[in-house]
Chain A
């Protein structure tokens, strides 16, 4: 099983739609989770961290389910400018429990159409 897995999409949705992405991770000891956004031919940028209790930032809501080892991202009222690839990120916990580097999923492509 890959460390971080995402549906590559593409998700093609109309403006104003609600869309959700899921991501699964394999290391149950992982402690930190993030969603990054990557625009075409640009670098990945942090969209939001994912907290255990779930968190919201405007139209974006992130959830963590530790029991099932997945995180989700919900985008409400999609805008054209939301078109991008969304990368799920999980920290790799090294042997002995020390926090290591961040592992990126391959991303889910979202295309919002007028």
Chain B
């Protein structure tokens, strides 16, 4: 079975440029999550969707970050303009209702972003 698919796997960009990260969740999952991981802060939830609707975006650091889910099989996380402090690994994950009946979430391989 295909897992969560993310692209690009690696991106190096210059400060001020727009970055778009893409995610295809596991088919049938109705929850999609965007996480960011850094050494200092660990794994932080940025935003999550249920049935394509954003439920909680309180983790989005600032207005430079935006996320969309136009359909059940695709989501994007956009950073515009990017800054060096945005350098991190961005993980997309999907699941059924997390926690219910022991449901857990499944991660993609991550997008490694470096902003110089």
Contact = CB atoms under 8 A, between A and B. Distances in A.
Asked if A and B are interacting partners, one says yes
B100 A99 contact: yes
B56 interface: yes
B109 A107 contact: no
Given A31-B99, A44-B107, A46-B104, A101 B43 contact: no
Nearest to A99: B99
A5 to B, nearest CB: 11
How many chain A residues sit at the interface, stated as a range, is 20 to 34
Contacts of B105: 102
Contact of B42 (A43, A45, A49, A107): A107
Nearest to B106: A46
A91 interface: yes
Contacts, number: 52
Interface in B18-73: 31, 33, 35, 41-43, 45, 48, 56
Contacts of B108: 43
Contacts of B104: 32, 34, 46, 49, 89, 102
Interface string A71-114: 00000000000000001010100000001111111110000000
B56 A100 contact: yes
A51 to B, nearest CB: 8
A104 to B, nearest CB: 4
A19 B24 CA distance: 37
Contact of B45 (A49, A103, A105): A103
30 contacts: A32-B98, A32-B100, A32-B102, A32-B103, A32-B104, A34-B104, A43-B107, A43-B110, A44-B43, A44-B91, A45-B107, A46-B106, A49-B102, A49-B104, A87-B43, A89-B104, A91-B99, A99-B98, A99-B99, A99-B100, A100-B56, A100-B98, A100-B99, A101-B31, A103-B45, A104-B35, A104-B42, A106-B41, A106-B43, A107-B42
